[in-house]
Amino acid sequence: MQSFERYQTGNSFLHRLAPRVKVVMTALFILSALLIPDGAWTAFLLSLMMLLVLIRIAAAPIGMAFKRSLVILPFTLTAFSVLFVTPGAPLIVLHPGPWTLTMTDAGVIRFASILARSLLAVKIAILLTATTPFPDLLHAFRHLHLPRTLVSILAFMYRYLFVLGDEATRLMRARQARSARLPGRSGGANLMWRGKVAGGMAGQLFLRSLERGERVHQAMLARGYRGHIYTLNPHVVTRRDWLFAAAGVFLLLLIQLIARFPLL
């Protein structure tokens, strides 16, 4: 049930920052990473150093951020084609069947830059969720004037992922308890039978989720729910928060200047 939770309890400087400041600075960091030109390795390195300093301040394990960021690799590999379609000096020529693929130096630089941007963006998002409870993130979204309906959808989606996980686990246990195991064969007969059972389980999960959602909605309305979720955090932006934001914006602008004018 806790597999969805990414918040790391702590009392570091980053943990105490106002959630809306952390959300804005995370968005600016991601935007800065996206705006770094291809091959500006000094700017990428400075962004990584800035991120490592923040991880150190948060007292979060560096390995944690690295392992979780690997989830982006399958999506980044979809940009693998840029190695062969970007004009540049040829490095490797492949002949798969009737086709000819030429890997260029510019393609390698672009692919490596895409990978660097993706990893930086994912790592800063991981740090945000590791230092900010999810209810505080929702309040930050409301303070930043995101649509109330969208924030409510995010809140219930996150909350009931745990409930859906428990329902799915119970269905799996029920299937195992009712599936006879034949000698020398795995339980569940042939693949066709397993497919029918899986489809029935998916339908049952959908119906149970729909029914429970209706019951929960009626119960919340009866208890005074009006679309706002409360937390114990006062969500006050202090002078410390403003100073952190100003320093962060200054460093990001400096990285952009170095990326475009390396001789400076």
DSSP secondary structure string for all residues of 3-47: GG-------SHHHHS-HHHHHHHHHHHHHHHHHSPTT-HHHHHHH
Q: How much is the mean pLDDT over the chain? A: 82
pLDDT band at 186 (very low <50, low <70, confident <90, very high): low
pLDDT band at 2 (very low <50, low <70, confident <90, very high): very low
Distance, in Å, from the CA atom of 119 to the CA atom of 67, rounded to the nearest integer, reads 11
Distance, in Å, from the CA atom of 187 to the CA atom of 179, rounded to the nearest integer, reads 6
Beta bridge partners of 184: none
Average pLDDT over residues 148-159: 81
Which range among 39-43, 91-95, 212-216 has the greatest average pLDDT?
A: 39-43
**So what's the pLDDT on residue 1?**
43
- How many alpha carbons lie under 13 Å from residue 178 in its C-beta half-sphere? 8
pLDDT band at 216 (very low <50, low <70, confident <90, very high): confident
On whether the CB atoms of residues 88 and 107 are closer than 8 A, the answer is yes
Which tokens belong to 29?
Answer: 């960091």
Q: Which of 23-32, 51-60, 61-70, 213-222 has the lowest mean pLDDT?
A: 61-70
Domain ranges, ordered by start, for the chain: 2-133+233-260, 148-180+188-222
**So what's the pLDDT on residue 184?**
52
**So what's the pLDDT on residue 5?**
61
H or E segment and range at residue 155: helix 148-178
Residue 113 has pLDDT above 90, yes or no: yes
**So what's the pLDDT on residue 190?**
67
Distance, in Å, from the CA atom of 25 to the CA atom of 101, rounded to the nearest integer, reads 41
Average pLDDT over residues 109-137: 90
